[in-house]
Amino acid sequence: MNKIFTYLLLTTLTIPSFSTEFVTIGTGGVTGTYYPTGGAICRLVNKYKKETKIRCSVESTDGSVYNINKIETGELDFGIAQSDLIYQASRGTGKFKGNTTKKLKSVMAIYPELLTLVTRKDSNINSIDDMKNKRINLGNPGSGNEATTLTLFSVSTIKKEELKFAGTLKASEMPDALKDNKIDGYFYMVGHPTANIEDATNSVDAKIIPLEGSNIDYLISRYPYFTKADIPAGMYKGNSDSIPTFGVKAVLVTSDDVSEKAVYTTVKAILENFDKFKRLHPAYSNISKKSLLNGLSAPLHKGAKKYFKEAGLL
């Protein structure tokens, strides 16, 4: 009997494993655009879980920098991050100075996200220069929100030290802080529309401040991953005009260590259900299959490259 058991055990160990592969996508705060984007991707991937044996789950995180770092250490399989921070991580500059992420790979660029300054109207902020001695939330540590805001400050006449209060609240905490008059305004790097800003503008008289001028022009000329864009007129209550600003791309990234099958399956699930994917969030309304390859700051993962080639997009 023992010989039979040993034979069966050894035979089983030599059979190829067909167990399910679990992958996790790091996103951001639950009221932002990263979290529902991760959910949308996972729903499409899980649609084929019986055939592919790939099962996807979403994790709410502190955002771009956190996601990139955890992908590098293998604690996350996928993550959504800003293209500017991916650029820095791939080259060991900016937030990642002296700490190049060697494993980071792109999967696809998803949608544009724009730096947005939401203020209380009674704070009398009409431009960046008016923020002196004001209470402004810059973003939680480890977020792309904070990183881009500090980049803006680096080319502006006003400095972080001149604020009355430089907040580090998470995205989900910012609307309530504005409503409760704990802050005068907050910066948010996000795809539009977003429930976060809808919550704020529906609850208090709020004004979204234009981010424009020679400092923005200089920023865009210096950093190729930034581009000018407008927040559409009337998207948020009390803001009837279009609002000029600048932004980057929200990009799905992964690690060299993640299997070709998992990445290929993810890209295939999105592209083969692309019209359905675009309907899952208003921020995706103007994206195209070709735009998924625009704004990538790290090399494509081999699994993504394989599917994009099969689809005739590379």
We report the CATH number of the domain holding residue 175 as 3.40.190.10
Residue 189 shares a structural domain with residue 263: no
pLDDT of residue 6: 47
Confirm whether 146 is domain-assigned. Answer: yes
Residue 133 shares a structural domain with residue 219: yes
Residue 197 shares a structural domain with residue 293: no
pTM: 0.80
* Half-sphere exposure of residue 311: CA atoms within 13 angstroms, side-chain side: 20
pLDDT of residue 175: 97
pLDDT in tens, the chain (314 residues): 455 444 444 444 444 446 889 999 999 988 888 999 999 999 999 999 999 999 999 999 999 999 999 999 999 999 999 999 999 999 999 889 888 898 999 999 999 889 999 999 999 999 999 999 999 999 998 788 898 999 999 999 989 999 999 999 999 999 999 999 999 999 999 989 999 999 999 999 999 999 999 999 999 888 888 888 899 999 999 999 999 999 999 999 999 999 999 999 999 999 999 999 999 988 898 899 999 998 898 999 999 999 999 999 99
pLDDT of residue 18: 61
pLDDT of residue 12: 43
Which of 247, 268, 300 is the last residue in one of the domains?
247
Phi, psi of 222 (to 5 degrees): -85, -35
Residue 59 shares a structural domain with residue 183: no
User: How many domains is the chain built from?
Assistant: 2
Burial class (CB in 10 A: 0-12, 13-18, 19+), 133: exposed
Instruction: Give the domain range for residue 189.
Output: 114-247
DSSP-based three-state secondary structure for 132 = coil
Residue 73 shares a structural domain with residue 98: yes
Confirm whether 10 is domain-assigned. Answer: no
Confirm whether 3 is domain-assigned. Answer: no
The answer to whether residues 29 and 172 touch, using CB atoms and an 8 Å cutoff, is yes
Does 193 sit behind a cis peptide bond, omega within 30 degrees of 0 on the bond before it? Answer: yes
